[in-house]
A and B are shown apart, each in its own frame.
Chain A
Amino acid sequence: MNSTLILFLIFIVVTLAITYWAAKRSATAGAYFAANRQIKAWQNGVAVAGDYMSAASFLGIAGLIAFNGYDGFMYSVGWLVAYLTVLLLVAEPLRNAGKYTMADVLAYRLHPRPVRAMAALSTLTVSTFYMIAQMIGAGALVSLLLKDSHITFHTAVIGVGILMIVYVVFGGMLATTWVQIIKAILLMGGTIILSILVMNHFGWSFSNFFDAITKVTYHDPKGATVVKDFLQPGGMYKPPYGALDLISLGIALIFGTAGLPHILVRFYTVPDAKTARHSVVWAMVLIGAFYIMTTFLGFGAATVVGRDFIAKNGGQNMSGPNLALFLGGNFFFAFICAIAFATILAVVAGLTISASTSFAHDFWTNVVHKGTERSPGEEVRVARITAFVVGAASITVAILLGPTFNVAFLVALAFAVAASANLPVIIFSIFWKRFNTAGAVCGLVVGLLSSIILIAIGPSLMGPGPTAWFHRAAPIFPLQNPGIISVPLGFLGAWLGTLLGGRDAAAEAKFTELEVRANIGLGAEQATAGH
């Protein structure tokens, strides 16, 4: 057995022990869905960071920088800035006004059944697309990391899927939270050690480090030696549409993060709005520090390891682990690989619990059964079954699509839907008195459809691109990221729907209640005593 596998097993044993501990504390709905709202600010902040920073960040961005230089670093900036939208506009009103899901806020003063049905559909779309992307990534990664131990893509996907189901079905939000906290601490620890090793390699001289970045040497596909200045912009975002695509991605990040259901549900786990605010700040400190350190991970891999070696040993996404191998040896390589594994598990667990909460609370209890549980504990029971079904379905889909399936567009789609469908209706329900049910349904439908359609007719799926399915015509929409069109369309749809829907006196009358509740926490859900 190699050391990566042993570290994997240690992580699995620890997280299963936590799940066992959490399972005994997750009997009631408040405990299962929101950890009794007793999570502390720092814990929730660290968990948000753990929920958010996926393997795409840890391995993907390091690889983007290692292969494309500066543009990869520019790409990483938006992931932190997006949290200002969460902090300034969404976290506190959401915590005060809602109970378990994003839809609680939308349904507060609108007709709950159509709004919740659409919001649940949007939540499930975002979560499943994102989850399938993570599962395929996990399978490809684990089979690569553990290639000596004969673990195949299928075994890896099934293993990750089963663990995720166990965490969520038995341990609920409490187990998910602690898996995310442990993962975030491991991820930050590994990244800090790697950064220190990179600076140590350059004799603690930033000017040596940056000088090396201006002279990155590798061989192009024809075998010619290339010396390139990796601080120069333009490595990835090339004319004519590169800059526009990056702006479009930025729009999806800045407006989408505050509409990601698995991030939003985290704010229901804390006792009050003030704690929610402080937890966003904790998350911002960690997330910001992490993305700044991608400078060392990415440029470090480009200068210390070099593109040639990485390309032959796992490819772009293995830039970080290869850097660990060069600077810290075999054991440190195993440690970094185990962190990547922990990272994926924590993110898929967060996605599973938000999807199952939304189905059980929004769709089952509030849409199908008009807001009442037919028997005590039904909502939690439905959520556990949903978590199992969602997990089994994503294992199946991930295996059917296979390890070579391009997952980047699934992530782009998840963020685009969150930004174009979820965020406009969240913002309007909190801040616009006139907003009504027609506006919410229209905004959700327009945002969801425009994101899906623009991705389907974009270069990810159409035209000559390497990942395209439909090769017979050039892409109709030139950008990989639809945000620049779909986000304004989502807002426009919500606005037009409101005007066309006519005035809803009841919804407007209830705006005062929502405004008071959102701003001072009067009537907000309280923390309950644990066991």
Chain B
Amino acid sequence: MADTKTTPGATSASSATSAPSGDGASQWDRVAAMDEFKQLLKSKARFIVPATIFFIVYYFLLPWLVGYYPQKMDKRVWGSVNIAYLFALSQFFVSWLIAWLYVRAARKWDDSAKNILNRLKGGK
């Protein structure tokens, strides 16, 4: 099967021209070897892994608590409004907050990606 192997971009001229010129396949290895690239991966993982675990746990707390402790979750805390409603509502704001934090963190990843691409073009 190896002879039929093509990359998704192989049939497209646009992807070939977009990659900075270098000595063929080794441009990928050169980037992978850069400290700045390793730092970028680490920095991304440091945000994405805990954020993903947090939102999954926080989301599944809702059906779990409401499903198994309906009386406790029905406690009225603000007029007629109960914890169950507020907790469900909070999911929206927590999701938006995580998205905002992610976009903020990603700004510095964009800078570092740009640096790496520039260094590659400079042939260093």
Interface residues of A (CB under 8 A from B): 30, 70, 73-74, 77-78, 80-81, 83-85, 87-89, 97-99, 104-105, 107-108, 111-114, 206-207, 210-211, 213-214, 231-234, 237, 242-244, 246-247, 250, 254, 274, 277-278, 280-281, 284-285, 288, 291-292, 365-366, 370-373, 437, 506, 512-513, 515-517, 519-526, 528
Q: Are A526 and B14 in contact, CB atoms less than 8 angstroms apart?
A: yes
Q: Are B92 and A519 in contact, CB atoms less than 8 angstroms apart?
A: no
Interchain CA distance A329-B70 in the complex, whole Å: 38
Q: Are A78 and B59 in contact, CB atoms less than 8 angstroms apart?
A: yes
Known: A104-B8, A277-B103. A519 touches B41 (CB 8 A): yes
Interface residues of B (CB under 8 A from A): 1-2, 4-12, 14-15, 18-20, 25, 27-29, 31-32, 37, 40-41, 44, 48, 51-52, 55-56, 59-60, 62-64, 66-68, 70, 73-74, 79-82, 84-85, 88-89, 91-92, 95-96, 98-100, 102-103, 106, 110, 113, 116-117, 120
Q: Are A513 and B25 in contact, CB atoms less than 8 angstroms apart?
A: yes
Known: A243-B67, A513-B25. A520 touches B113 (CB 8 A): yes
Chain A binding surface, main DSSP class: helix
Q: Are B29 and A512 in contact, CB atoms less than 8 angstroms apart?
A: yes
A300 shortest CB reach to chain B, Å? 15
* Highest count of chain A CB atoms <10 Å: which of B10, B99, B106: B99
Contact of A81 among B40, B80, B91 (CB under 8 A): B91
Chain B binding surface, main DSSP class: helix
Q: Are B73 and A81 in contact, CB atoms less than 8 angstroms apart?
A: no
User: Can you show 21 pairs from A to B with CB atoms below 8 A apart?
Assistant: A77-B88, A84-B98, A87-B102, A88-B102, A105-B8, A108-B7, A112-B5, A113-B1, A207-B80, A231-B80, A232-B74, A243-B67, A250-B59, A292-B92, A371-B10, A515-B41, A516-B31, A516-B37, A522-B20, A522-B28, A522-B117
Chain A residues with Cβ below 8 Å from B15 are 99, 523-526
Interchain CA distance A210-B80 in the complex, whole Å: 6
Interchain CA distance A280-B106 in the complex, whole Å: 13
Interchain CA distance A98-B15 in the complex, whole Å: 11
Contact of B95 among A74, A80, A214, A513 (CB under 8 A): A80
Contact of A80 among B1, B7, B62, B92 (CB under 8 A): B92
Interchain CA distance A288-B92 in the complex, whole Å: 6
A-B pairs with beta carbons under 8 A, tally: 190
Of all chain A residues, the one with the shortest Cβ separation from B4 is A370
* Highest count of chain B CB atoms <10 Å: which of A87, A104, A206, A365: A87
Chain B residues with Cβ below 8 Å from A113 are 1, 4
Q: Are A254 and B56 in contact, CB atoms less than 8 angstroms apart?
A: yes
Chain A residues with Cβ below 8 Å from B4 are 111-113, 370-371
Chain B residues with Cβ below 8 Å from A254 are 56, 59
Q: Are A522 and B31 in contact, CB atoms less than 8 angstroms apart?
A: yes
Of all chain B residues, the one with the shortest Cβ separation from A504 is B2
The 3 closest A-B pairs by CB, nearest first: A243-B67, A104-B8, A520-B113
Chain B residues with Cβ below 8 Å from A207 are 79-80
A492 shortest CB reach to chain B, Å? 18
Q: Are A77 and B117 in contact, CB atoms less than 8 angstroms apart?
A: no
Of all chain A residues, the one with the shortest Cβ separation from B82 is A231
Q: Are A513 and B28 in contact, CB atoms less than 8 angstroms apart?
A: yes
Contact of A214 among B5, B12, B51, B80 (CB under 8 A): B80
* Highest count of chain A CB atoms <10 Å: which of B5, B25, B113: B5
Q: Are A281 and B63 in contact, CB atoms less than 8 angstroms apart?
A: no
A361 shortest CB reach to chain B, Å? 9
Q: Are B5 and A73 in contact, CB atoms less than 8 angstroms apart?
A: no
Chain B residues with Cβ below 8 Å from A371 are 4, 6, 10-11
Q: Are A247 and B28 in contact, CB atoms less than 8 angstroms apart?
A: no
Q: Are B84 and A74 in contact, CB atoms less than 8 angstroms apart?
A: yes
B98 shortest CB reach to chain A, Å? 6
Chain B residues with Cβ below 8 Å from A77 are 59, 62, 88, 91-92
Of all chain A residues, the one with the shortest Cβ separation from B112 is A520
Chain A residues with Cβ below 8 Å from B55 are 81, 84
Known: A70-B85, A207-B79, A516-B32. A372 touches B11 (CB 8 A): yes
B2 shortest CB reach to chain A, Å? 6
Chain B residues with Cβ below 8 Å from A231 are 74, 80-82, 84-85
Of all chain A residues, the one with the shortest Cβ separation from B51 is A88
Interchain CA distance A522-B29 in the complex, whole Å: 12
A119 shortest CB reach to chain B, Å? 12
Interchain CA distance A411-B12 in the complex, whole Å: 35
Chain B residues with Cβ below 8 Å from A519 are 37, 40-41, 44, 113
Q: Are A288 and B95 in contact, CB atoms less than 8 angstroms apart?
A: yes
Q: Are A213 and B11 in contact, CB atoms less than 8 angstroms apart?
A: no
Chain B residues with Cβ below 8 Å from A232 are 70, 74, 82
Q: Are A73 and B6 in contact, CB atoms less than 8 angstroms apart?
A: no
Chain A residues with Cβ below 8 Å from B70 are 232-234
Q: Are A81 and B95 in contact, CB atoms less than 8 angstroms apart?
A: yes
